[in-house]
Amino acid sequence: MKNDWNKSQYGFETRAIHAGQEPDPTTGAIMTPVYLTSTFVQESPGRHKGWEYARSQNPTRSAYEACLANLESGKHGFGFASGCAAETTALHLLKAGDHVIASDDMYGGTFRLMDKVIKHNGIEFSYVDLTDVENFRKAIKPNTKMVWIETPTNPTMKLVDIRKAAAIAKEKGILSIVDNTFMSPYFQRPLELGADIVLHSTTKYVGGHSDVVGGALIVNDDDLAARIYFLQKSMGAICAPFDAYLSMRSLKTLALRMRQHDINGRKVAEYLEKHPKVARVAYPGLPSHPQHALAKEQAHGFGGMMTIYLKGGIDEARRLLENVRIFALAESLGGVESLIEHPAIMTHASIPPEARKALGIDDTMVRLSVGVENVEDLIRDLENALSKV
C-alpha cells in the first residue's frame, strides 16, 4: 500500500499531494510531522524501527524525498542542504583522473564549483556548447565519466536535446545528469527521456516561495542510488527536517504554480517581444526561439524564465532595473513573486568576462523570473519602467 501512488493510476497533481505521505499512525495527523530529532531509540542493539541517526535518515526528509522522486518518475530521491550541496555530492561519484563534459552555459555557481573547487580534486572539465549534441560526442575522451546538462541554459535560455544526449551517454557508458531547476518535474522529466540523474536547486520552483534553500538528486537505478545514499550520509550535506517539510508542502501546489508561471511567462514574453526598446527576447515558448520545436517536444510547458536584450547599453539596463516596482531586483528565481536581475553584474559575475562575452552575456541582458501575480499588473510595471529607459 505504502507509496503506491504510481503514475499509471494517478495524475501529477494527485501524486504531488499524496506520494510518500501517510497520515501519522500515532495521531492521525494528516500532515507529516517535522521530526526534530537527531537520534532514534533502539529496543536492543541494532533492533530499531528503521531509523537510527538523522544524518542517515529522517522521516520528514524521507517522505519529501519519496514525493519528489515520484514526481520526477524516479525510484529514489535525495534531499540536500542546497542545490550546490547536491552538485558537490553528485560530483563525488567521480574520482581523480575522471573527465566531465559540461554545458558551456550554466548557472554561475555550478561553473564556480567545478572550476574553482572540484577541479582541484584532480577531475577534469570540458565546457562545450551542448545545444549541438555532436559537440558532446566530439569532446568524449577515454576517461569521460559524466555529462552535465542544464536545459534551458542559464541565462541564455538555449536548450539541450536530453533524449539525444542521454542516448550518446548510454552508448559510451557515461553518466548523464540533468539540472532540471528551470522546468521543474511538472514541465520536464529527464529520467523519462533517458537521463541517469536529475538535479534540482529546490530553492527555486520546487520550494517556490523564496523561503528555503535546498537541493535534490533523483535516480532510477538501484546501484546508482546506493552510491548516492552512501555519499549523502558520508558527506552529510543533508536537507534539514524543517526544510524538507517546507519543500514537501510546496510540492503540493507545484502544478498550480507552474501553470500560472507558464501563462504569465508567455504573456510577458509576447509583450516584451513587441516593445520598441527591446532588441530580443529569449523564451523557449516564443516561436522566434530557435529551438521552439525542441522545447515543445521535450517539455510540457515553458515556465516563467526569460532573458531579454535591451537596445542600448548598461545605462538602459540600469534604468529598467531601477524603475520596476512589482519585479524585485534580486538574484534567484522560481518564487511566486516576480524577480528581475542583471546576469553580467549579479548571478554570472563568477564567469570570466571573455567567457561571458563569448556566451552573449552582455550589459544589455536582463533576466526575468515571472511570478504568479496578476499578469496585467506585471505588464504595466514593465511598461512603466521601460518608459523611463
Ligand X SMILES: *Cc1c(COP(=O)(O)O)cnc(C)c1O
Q: List residues near ligand X by CB under 6 A.
A: 82-84, 107, 109-110, 150, 154, 179, 181, 201, 203-204, 213, 215
Q: Which is nearer to ligand X, 196 or 381 (CB)?
A: 196
Q: Which is nearer to ligand X, 215 or 265 (CB)?
A: 215
The owner of cell 542545490 is 83
The owner of cell 542559464 is 154
204 catalytic residue (yes or no): yes
Decide: 155 and 360 in contact? Cβ < 8 Å.
Answer: no
Q: Which is nearer to ligand X, 107 or 136 (CB)?
A: 107
| Identified catalytic residue from 145, 158, 164, 204 | 204
| Identified catalytic residue from 104, 105, 161, 179 | 179
Decide: 71 and 185 in contact? Cβ < 8 Å.
Answer: yes
Torsion of CA 252, 188, 144, 220, to 10 degrees: 50
- The distance of closest approach from Cβ of residue 11 to ligand X in the complex, given in angstroms and rounded to an integer, is 27
Decide: 100 and 144 in contact? Cβ < 8 Å.
Answer: yes
Sign, Cα dihedral of 52, 55, 56, 62: positive
Torsion of CA 110, 115, 120, 122, to 10 degrees: 90
266 catalytic residue (yes or no): no
| Identified catalytic residue from 35, 64, 107, 205 | 107
Segment holding 274, helix H or strand E: helix 254-274
229 catalytic residue (yes or no): no
User: In angstroms, what is the C-alpha Rg of the chain?
Assistant: 21
Q: Which residue is nearest to ligand X (CB)?
A: 83
Q: Which is nearer to ligand X, 195 or 278 (CB)?
A: 195
- The distance of closest approach from Cβ of residue 112 to ligand X in the complex, given in angstroms and rounded to an integer, is 10
Instruction: Measure the CA–CA gap between 132 and 160, rounded to whole angstroms.
Output: 7
- The distance of closest approach from Cβ of residue 107 to ligand X in the complex, given in angstroms and rounded to an integer, is 4
- The distance of closest approach from Cβ of residue 37 to ligand X in the complex, given in angstroms and rounded to an integer, is 25
Catalytic residues: 55, 107, 179, 204
